Amino acid sequence: MFLNVRDFEEVARTRLDPVYYDYVAGGARDEVTLRANEEGFQRLSLLPRVLRGREKRELDVSLFGSRASMPVLLSPTAFHRLVHPEGELATARAAAAAGAIMIVSMASTVAVEEVAAAARAAVPDRAPALWFQLYLQPDLEFTEALVRRATEAGCTALVVTVDSPVLGLSERNKRNGFTDLPEGLRCENLRELRGGEPGSVRQIVMSPELSWEHVDWLRRHTSLPILLKGVLHPEDARLALRHGVDGLLLSNHGGRQLDSVPSTVDLLPEMVDAVGGRIPVLLDGGVRRGTDVVKALALGAAAVGVGRPVVWGLAADGERGVRRVLELLREELDHTLALCGAGSLRDLTPDLVRRTPAGRG
Ligand code: FNR
359: Cβ contacts below 8 Å, ≥ 6 apart: none
pLDDT, tens only, 21-56: 999 999 999 999 999 999 999 999 999 999 999 999
Supply the pLDDT for residue 192. Answer: 82
pLDDT, tens only, 241-255: 999 999 999 999 999
* Ligand 1 mutation pick, 34, 77, 158, 185, max ligand atoms within 8 A of CB: 77
| pLDDT over threshold 70, residue 233 | yes
74 Cα to the center of ligand 1, angstroms: 10
pLDDT, tens only, 170-228: 999 999 999 999 999 999 999 986 666 667 899 999 999 999 999 999 999 999 999 99
Rounded (5°) CA angle 226-229-230: 145
Distance CA(147)–CA(197), nearest Å, equals 19
The Cβ of residue 101 has, within 10 Å, a number of other Cβ atoms equal to: 29
ipTM greater than 0.85, yes or no? yes
Class at the top of the CATH hierarchy for domain 5-353: alpha beta
pLDDT, tens only, 60-109: 999 999 999 999 999 999 999 999 999 999 999 999 999 999 999 999 99
CA atoms within 13 Å, Cβ hemisphere of 236? 15
pLDDT, tens only, 111-159: 999 999 999 999 999 999 999 999 999 999 999 999 999 999 999 999 9
Work out the pLDDT band at 358, boundaries 50, 70, 90: low
Supply the pLDDT for residue 360. Answer: 53
CB of 33 within 8 A of CB of 314?
Answer: no
Query: Residues near ligand 1 with C-beta < 6 Å?
Result: 24, 37, 75-78, 105, 107, 133, 161, 229, 251, 253-254, 256, 284-287, 306-308, 311
Distance CA(16)–CA(81), nearest Å, equals 12
For 111-137, letters b (16+ CB in 10 Å) and e give: bbebbbbbbbebbeeeebbbbbbbbbb
pTM: 0.98
261: Cβ contacts below 8 Å, ≥ 6 apart: 33, 232, 252
* Cα of 10 vs its chain's centroid, Å: 21
| Percentage of residues of the chain with pLDDT beyond 90 | 96
DSSP string of 156-189? --EEEE-S-SS----HHHHHHT--S--TT---GG
* Ligand 1 atom nearest residue 105's Cα: 9
**261: closest CA among 272, 250, 246?**
250
Q: Is 214 a residue of the active site?
A: no
Supply the pLDDT for residue 194. Answer: 66
pLDDT, tens only, 256-306: 999 999 999 999 999 999 999 999 999 999 999 999 999 999 999 999 999
Distance CA(79)–CA(186), nearest Å, equals 8
DSSP reduced 3-state for 22: helix
CB of 299 within 8 A of CB of 78?
Answer: no
Supply the pLDDT for residue 361. Answer: 46
pLDDT, tens only, 312-337: 999 999 999 999 999 999 999 999 99
28 Cα to the center of ligand 1, angstroms: 12
Residue with CA closest to ligand 1 atom 5: 76
What mean pLDDT, rounded, does the chain reach? 97
73 Cα to the center of ligand 1, angstroms: 12
CB of 319 within 8 A of CB of 268?
Answer: no
